């Protein structure tokens, strides 16, 4: 267990290295930080930190840089995240509030995160299974072809086209639409099968097969696909940190191309908790030189999906964590109001 002074020295090393990208020496720490001790004492503390694996010397006669273990202790001991300025908060709110639909919300969110943090931003679309139904629309495309449009509480829109066993009149379609919406609007997806199981009974023998097909299509639409949808932005930001990837940036770029990797990056985040994975804590080998900051976002107390950023381990953790948390909060508010 490190005493308070060594923790102060480690915190100063992390802050200076993140700011300068240069190994940090004892004299620089004494000059830049009010640590209350001599450079000789700081050297002794740095030697102890190095022995315990919190910092390392990249080459002879150089200063020290934090290790993954050092960054981890720094993050774990953070007193709080860096708050955004009033101007930044207003800019976020204005930018996200201009979204016209869910795709626009997600697109604006991922671009905003990338711009705020100068990292790679990743945003997961809200899960269907965590949504409620806002409206079901039925449209005639041809005498025996119908489009079902499902609109969720998060603004997500799902469309399905079906061929019916017989011609579908507008009166029948209007009746089915009205009955469906009266039963399932505002209901959770899991509750829908029970709510519509007898919906076809009032219809004639000729109409029931058509209604049954519509219900089957609706229930199929409610089944969450295993392939969750995520989007990312800001990959070009990684080129600003070329020296942070000692060999090549290629493994990071290859990892970001894999859909399953992106989902795993966000996988442990919950709302309101935040997950910070540093360096080798990331399971994917190609991301060993990166850190991930992720959090859940949602409507009210419910987490609908996750968002976060990826960048080099030499990251402004307080600022990045503050930006990620703020954006998640505003996205949740927009979804709750939509």
Residue 100 lies in a domain: yes
Residue 292 lies in a domain: yes
Span of 36-40, 226-230, 308-312 with lowest mean pLDDT: 226-230
Interhelix angle 317-337/102-117, rounded to 10 degrees, is: 160
Q: What is the mean pLDDT of the chain?
A: 88
Looking at per-residue pLDDT, the higher value among 130 and 87 belongs to: 87
Please check whether residues 155 and 244 belong to one and the same domain: no
pLDDT of residue 182: 95
pLDDT of residue 121: 95
**Rounded distance between C-alpha atoms, residue 65 and residue 56, angstroms:** 5
pLDDT band of 178, cuts 50, 70, 90: very high
Please check whether residues 115 and 140 belong to one and the same domain: no
Structural domain count, the chain: 3
pLDDT over 60 at 225, yes or no: no
Residue 270 lies in a domain: yes
Is the preceding omega at residue 272 within 30 degrees of 0, hence cis? yes
Domain of residue 181, residue span: 129-222
pLDDT of residue 145: 94
Boundary (domain end) residue, out of 167, 194, 222? 222
Residue 152 lies in a domain: yes
Please check whether residues 232 and 331 belong to one and the same domain: yes
In order, the DSSP letters of 117-133 are: HSSEEEEEPPPGGG-BE
Whose structure tokens read 């795993």? 264
pLDDT over 60 at 270, yes or no: no
Please check whether residues 118 and 138 belong to one and the same domain: no
Please check whether residues 108 and 239 belong to one and the same domain: yes
CA gyration radius, the chain? 26
Structure tokens at 41: 């004492």
pLDDT of residue 269: 57
**Residue (of 201, 210, 211, 212) closest to 164 by Cα position:** 210
In order, the DSSP letters of 195-256 are: HHTTTTTTS-TTTHHHHHHHHHHHHHHHSPPSS--EEEE-GGGGGGGGGGSSS-SHHHHHHH
pLDDT of residue 72: 95
Looking at per-residue pLDDT, the higher value among 188 and 163 belongs to: 163
- CB 107: neighbour CB atoms within 10 A? 15
Please check whether residues 139 and 215 belong to one and the same domain: yes
Residue 81 lies in a domain: no
Whose structure tokens read 């022995």? 51
pLDDT over 50 at 271, yes or no: no
- CB 42: neighbour CB atoms within 10 A? 24
Residue 274 lies in a domain: yes
pLDDT over 90 at 241, yes or no: no
pLDDT of residue 338: 63
pLDDT of residue 308: 94
pLDDT of residue 111: 95
pLDDT tens track for 117-141: 999 999 998 876 667 898 999 999 9
pLDDT over 80 at 1, yes or no: no
Please check whether residues 243 and 320 belong to one and the same domain: yes
pLDDT of residue 179: 95
Name the pairing type of β-strands 145-152 and 157-163: antiparallel
Name the pairing type of β-strands 133-142 and 55-56: unpaired
pLDDT tens track for 184-195: 999 988 889 999
Q: Give me the CATH number covering residue 188.
A: 3.30.390.60
Residue 143 lies in a domain: yes
Please check whether residues 278 and 293 belong to one and the same domain: yes
Please check whether residues 214 and 246 belong to one and the same domain: no
Looking at per-residue pLDDT, the higher value among 130 and 196 belongs to: 196
Boundary (domain end) residue, out of 222, 240, 255? 222
Residue 299 lies in a domain: yes
Please check whether residues 57 and 187 belong to one and the same domain: no
Boundary (domain end) residue, out of 198, 222, 246? 222
Q: Give me the CATH number covering residue 253.
A: 3.30.450.40
Q: Is 139 helix (H, G, I), strand (E, B) or coil?
A: strand
pLDDT of residue 69: 96
Please check whether residues 107 and 19 belong to one and the same domain: no
The pTM of this model reads: 0.77
Please check whether residues 263 and 207 belong to one and the same domain: no
């Amino acid at each position: 267990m490190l005493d308070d002074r060594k923790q102060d020295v480690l915190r100063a090393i992390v802050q200076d290295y993140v700011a300068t990208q240069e190994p940090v020496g004892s004299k620089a720490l004494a000059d830049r930080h009010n640590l209350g001790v001599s450079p000789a004492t700081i050297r002794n503390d740095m030697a102890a930190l190095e022995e315990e694996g919190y910092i390392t010397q990249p080459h002879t006669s150089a200063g020290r840089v934090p290790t993954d273990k050092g960054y981890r202790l720094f993050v774990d001991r953070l007193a709080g995240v860096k708050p955004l300025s009033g101007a930044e908060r207003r800019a976020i709110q204005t930018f996200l509030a201009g979204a016209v639909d869910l795709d626009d919300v997600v697109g604006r969110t991922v671009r905003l995160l990338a711009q705020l943090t100068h990292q790679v931003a990743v945003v997961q679309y809200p899960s269907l299974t965590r949504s409620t139904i806002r409206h079901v629309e039925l449209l005639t495309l041809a005498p025996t072809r119908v489009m079902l449009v499902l609109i969720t509480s998060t603004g997500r829109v799902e469309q399905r086209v079906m061929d019916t066993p017989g011609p579908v009149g507008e009166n029948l379609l209007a009746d089915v639409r009205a009955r469906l919406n009266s039963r399932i609007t505002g209901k959770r997806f899991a509750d829908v099968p029970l709510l519509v199981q007898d919906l076809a009974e009032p219809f004639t023998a000729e109409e029931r097969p058509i209604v049954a097909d519509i219900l089957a299509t609706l229930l199929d639409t409610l089944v969450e696909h295993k392939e969750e949808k995520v989007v990312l932005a800001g990959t070009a930001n990684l080129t600003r940190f070329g020296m942070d990837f000692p060999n090549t940036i290629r493994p990071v770029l290859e990892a970001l191309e894999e859909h399953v990797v992106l989902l795993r990056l966000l996988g442990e985040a919950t709302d309101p908790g935040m997950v910070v994975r540093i360096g080798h804590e990331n399971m994917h080998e190609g991301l060993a030189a990166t850190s991930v900051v992720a959090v859940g976002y949602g409507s009210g107390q419910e987490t609908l999906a996750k968002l976060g950023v990826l960048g080099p381990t030499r990251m402004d953790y307080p600022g990045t964590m503050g930006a990620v948390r703020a954006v998640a909060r505003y996205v949740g508010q927009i979804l709750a109001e939509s």
